[in-house]
Amino acid sequence: MTITYSIIAPIYNEFENIPALWQRLSQVMDSTGEPWELILVDDGSSDGSNERIRELAASDERVRPVIFARNFGHQIAVTAGMDYSRGQAIVVIDADLQDPPEVILELAKKWKEGYEVVYAVRSEREGESWFKLLTASLFYRLIYRITDVKIPLDTGDFRLIDRKVVDVMSSMRERHRFLRGMSSWIGFKQIGVEYKRAARLSGVTKYPFKKMIKFAQDGITGFSYFPLQIATYLGFIAAGLSVVAIPVVAALRLAGSHSFEGQTTTLISVLFLGGVQLISLGILGEYIGRIYDEVKGRPLYVVRDAPKKE
C-alpha cells in the first residue's frame, strides 16, 4: 500500500501533548480518506514521552516511533522523521499543537493543485511572550536581508513537502541544519498558506534563549557570508578613519595643540581595534567550528529504536 501522507512530529518532553496530538491528527487525516502515517521522533525525552510513544505505536500501526539515543535537537529530529518517512507528501508539525492539524487540509489542497512545498505562514501568534515575538520577528527579517536564498517571512517548519523535495533534502547531510532555508534553497514550486498559530497546549517551550541563539547562528552561517564580510567592512572603516586622522593630528601638533596627547588616546584606539579584531576572530571561529563538525562526518543522529527504512 502506498502511503499518501507522512506526518512528522518531533518530540522533546511533550508527555501531556501526545494523546491530544494523536487524536486531533487522526481525526483530520482520516477525513482525507487517504492512507497516512505518523512518525513520532523522540528527541531524547526524559519525562515518559518515550513510553507514551511506544504505547501509541502498539495500539495504532500507523504510528511509527523513532527513538533517539539522546537529545539531538529539533531540526535533526525532523530530519530523522524525513529519513524514515514513506509518504508522497511529508508534513512537519510541532507536537505542542501550536500548529493546528486542521491546517494540513489546506496545505494538502495546494499540494494537489501542483505545489511542491506548501509552507504555513503565521499571520497571528497566540500565547507567546513579547520577547519571543520580537526576537522571532527580528530574526526572520535579518535572515531575509542577509541571505541569498529568500526564506519567506514569519514561516516556521510547519509545512507540506512533496516526496521529491524531501528526497533532495535528505541527501543534504549538513549537520547544522536550518530546514526552512534548505527547503527554499532547493526550489520547486512553493506557496504559502496563512494560519493562526495557537498557544502551546501544555508544558513550556523547549527553545530557551540559548537554543534560539544557536538556531539563529545556524541559519545565518548556513546561508550567508555576511558576518565574515563585516570584518572587511570594519577594516576599511578603521583604515579610512586613520588616513583622515593622521594628517589632522599632525597638523594640530604643528599648530601647537595638546588635544591628542597621553595614554588615554592610545588606550582608546588599542581597545577599539582589539575589540574589532576579537569579534572578527570569533566570527571566523563560528565558521571554522562548523567546518570542523562537517569534516568529522559523524552521523547526524543515533537511534535506539526505529522502524525499518524502506
Chain residues binding Mg ion by CB under 5 A are 94, 96, 98
Phi-psi region of 39 (alpha: psi -120 to 50; beta: other; left: phi over 0): beta
Q: How many residues does the chain have?
A: 310
3-state SS record for 285-310:
HHHHHHHHHHHHCCCCCCEEECCCCC
Q: How far is the CB of 16 from ligand UDP (least distance, A)?
A: 11
| From Mg ion, ligand UDP, none, interface partner of 71 (C-beta below 5 to 8 A by class) | ligand UDP
d(CA 116, CA 89): 9
> Residue 94 interacts with ligand UDP (CB under 6 A)?
yes
d(CA 70, CA 78): 14
95 binds ligand UDP (CB under 6 A): yes
Q: Is position 50 an interface residue for ligand UDP (rule: CB under 6 A)?
A: no
Binding mask 162-201 for ligand UDP (x = CB under 6 A): ----------------------------------------
Q: What cell numbers appear for 68 in the block?
A: 533517539
Site string for ligand UDP, 102-131 (x = CB under 6 A): ------------------------------
Q: What is the distance between the alpha carbons of residues 134 and 114, in angstroms, rounded to a whole number?
A: 35
Q: Does 207 bind ligand UDP (CB under 6 A)?
A: yes
Judge contact between 90 and 82, C-beta under 8 A.
yes
Residue placing its CB nearer to ligand UDP in the complex, 109 or 304: 304
Radius of gyration of the chain (CA): 25
* Residue 24 or 189 having the CB closest to ligand UDP: 24
Identify the residue among 73, 81, 192, 219 touching ligand UDP (CB under 6 A): 73
CA atoms within 13 Å, Cβ hemisphere of 230: 15
The single residue among 5, 12, 185, 301 that binds ligand UDP, judged by CB under 6 A, is 12
Q: Is 218 near ligand UDP (CB under 6 A)?
A: no
CB of 262 to ligand UDP, least distance (A): 52
**What is the closest distance, in whole angstroms, from the C-beta atom of residue 98 to Mg ion in the complex?**
4
* The one among 6, 50, 98, 183 contacting ligand UDP by CB under 6 A: 98
Is residue 139 near ligand UDP by the rule CB under 6 A?
no
Q: Which of 169, 158, 154, 166 is nearest to 25 (CA)?
A: 158
Q: Which of 11, 40, 56, 107 binds ligand UDP (CB under 6 A)?
A: 11
3-state secondary structure 214-237: HHHHHHHHHHCCHHHHHHHHHHHH
Stretch that binds ligand UDP, among 9-17, 220-228, 253-261, 290-298 (CB under 6 A): 9-17
Residue placing its CB nearer to Mg ion in the complex, 198 or 283: 198
Nearest to 11 by CA among 96, 100, 101, 104: 96
| Distances from the Cα of 170 to the Cα of 2, 55, 137, 178, angstroms | 20, 28, 28, 13
205 binds ligand UDP (CB under 6 A): yes
**3-state DSSP assignment of residue 184:** helix
Whether 144 contacts 181, CB under 8 Å: no
Q: Which of 35, 54, 71, 155 binds ligand UDP (CB under 6 A)?
A: 71
- The binder of 12, among ligand UDP, Mg ion, none, by C-beta within 5 to 8 A per type, is ligand UDP
Q: Would you tell me which residues interact with ligand UDP (CB under 6 A)?
A: 10-12, 14, 43, 71, 73-74, 77, 94-96, 98, 205-207
